[in-house]
Amino acid sequence: MVSIRWCCEQKEGIKLIDSNDNLAKGYLKMDEDSLGTMNRERKYNLMFAISACYYSMYYSLYSVCMKIGIKCEIHSCTIEFMKKILDNFYSKEDIKIIKKAFNARNIAKYYVDKIVQKEDSDYIMDKAPLFLNKSKDILAKINEKDIKDLRKKLENHER
């Protein structure tokens, strides 16, 4: 089971880095590009659309991480960081949405013999632009005190 402590112990897991506004903006741009791919592919290639949907959410979450100064190359750990550390910014519903998108992407990408239910793919694709807006709101509101508090919260979880 993924935990903050476990994620911090992994080589590619959660690491504190310097806050980087340029990377945060870059990941938002990647998010917007992924939304475009999702919308374009939705009618033609559902596997690509689902993957782009998930990545749009992931990139917007990762832009928040870059703003805070968090690097993590394990997606399940980034989502765990969202759940445990960013819980005052993202709702339980937001966590549910990105987890559903993560699972749908895994099914669409790695399992030829499984399908993502249409109601699930429609649900996550309808929510993806809202997830981006939520992340943009967080980026606009987050301040230096918030960043310091979140980094401290992470350090307390590592112990």
Q: Which amino acid is at 21?
A: D
What residue ranges do the domains of the chain occupy?
4-155
Contacts of 126 (CB under 8 A, 6+ apart): none
| Tens of pLDDT, residues 37-52 | 999 999 999 999 999 9
DSSP β-bridge partners for residue 15: 71
| Tens of pLDDT, residues 115-124 | 888 899 999 9
How far is Cα 34 from Cα 128, in angstroms, rounded to an integer? Answer: 10
Question: Residue 16: which H helix or E strand, with range?
Answer: strand 15-16
DSSP β-bridge partners for residue 71: 15
pTM (2 decimals)? 0.94
- Domain 4-155: state its class: mainly alpha
pLDDT of residue 110: 82
Token digits of residue 26: 């870059």
Contacts of 34 (CB under 8 A, 6+ apart): 52, 53, 55, 56, 59
